[in-house]
Amino acid sequence: MKRRHFIQKSTAATVLAGVGGLSLQSFSPSKTKKITILHTNDVHSHIDPFGPEDGRNANKGGVARRATLVESIRKENPNTLLLDAGDIFQGTPYFNYYGGELEFKLMSMLKYDVATIGNHDFDNGIDGLYAQIPHADFEFVSANYDFTNTVMDTHVKPYKIIIKDGIKIGIFGLGIQLDGLVNKEMYKETVYHNPIEIAQDMSRILKEEQSCDLVICLSHLGYNYKNNPNKVSDITVARATKDIDLIIGGHTHTFLPKPTIEKNSVGKNVLVNQVGCFGLYLGKIDFYFQPGKEVSSDGTSIIV
């Protein structure tokens, strides 16, 4: 089930860059730092677990069980981030009645750190999304949606940097083309930019300018379009960019039992993961940082 694979060559200098002020001597040579990334996608307002009659999903999912799971993982490793790759809204009467308030409040209680925006998050229009922002104690990132001429302006950042145990983690967001997928009346003046070009820029800014030790792309582009290979997906972003360590995806409801490993444009490994939908699974990826050694990782999907 579990495995370890080396994802990139990370020099001691890169690792040290994230812990500014500490000298080499401050490190015990055997001191490994562990960052755990937990993630969901396409939860689609599934707050309750599935019932006993729900076929293969029977008795799975639900926010309460996810909360217990997240809490126990955080207890094991306080250096844990919780991320969501979009389509938080739409799918149960909770959304129809409360318009997303409950979803955001519960995600805040679970202490989500960052989320990106999926196409269904516009289902009550951009004004409906904006109305729920006060209930979210976590941040939204999207680098290729320009919200300048909308109510969401300044409420969504291209990226967020979080430092855990001296490790600098850069997280940027990517959203799917809305034209043809979402009624323009819903997304209004939101402008979509090419995700590949944006991802190339973002990964350069986060890795080179901001000296992040770990670069994560939170994407709602979809995993892979085999019948339409020109359509931008997590796989095409992974191959066309450098300096992204992990792409956490959504939209296609693809269930991966463990992250896929792709080669980026300079032959380094990129992890790509997605955990189906409806909160049935929680993705868990552990990154290990050791001065002078390559960054390594373990990935697995946990049934909720």
Site residues (vs Zn ion, CB under 5 A): 42, 87
Task: Find out whether 42 and 118 touch, Cβ atoms under 8 Å.
Answer: yes
Query: What b/e sequence results for 14-46 when a residue is b if at least 16 CB atoms lie within 10 Å of its CB, and e otherwise?
Result: bbbebbeeeeeeebeeeeebbbbbbbbbbbbbb
What SS3 class is residue 16? helix
- Give, in order, the Cα–Cα distances in Å from 17 to each of 8, 80, 204, 213, 282: 16, 20, 16, 8, 31
Minimum distance from residue 90 beta carbon to Zn ion (Å):
8
Residue 132 and residue 98: Cα distance in Å, rounded? 10
Q: Output the residue with the shortest Cβ distance to Zn ion.
A: 87
Closest to Zn ion by CB, 214 vs 275, is 275
Which one, 65 or 253, has the nearer CB to Zn ion? 253
Task: Tell me how long the chain is.
Answer: 304
For residues 100 and 92, give the distance between their C-alpha atoms in angstroms, rounded to a whole number.
10
Q: Least CB distance from residue 253 to Zn ion, whole Å?
A: 6
Taking the least distance from each CB to Zn ion, the nearer of 84 and 87 is: 87
**What does the block give as tokens for 250?**
């959504």
Tell me the three state secondary structure of residue 96.
helix
Residue nearer to Zn ion on the CB measure, 84 or 243 = 84
Q: How far is Cα 38 from Cα 207, in angstroms, rounded to an integer?
A: 21
Q: Closest CB to Zn ion among 73 and 102? A: 102
- Dihedral of CA atoms 159, 202, 275, 48 in degrees, nearest 10, equals 20
For the bound state, the minimum distance from the C-beta of residue 179 to Zn ion, rounded and expressed in Å, comes to 18
CA dist., res. 54 & res. 109, Å (int): 27
The distance of closest approach from Cβ of residue 43 to Zn ion in the complex, given in angstroms and rounded to an integer, is 9
| Closer CB to Zn ion, 42 or 84, in the complex | 42
- Least Å distance, CB 273 to Zn ion, is 16
Closest distance of CB 274 from Zn ion, Å: 11
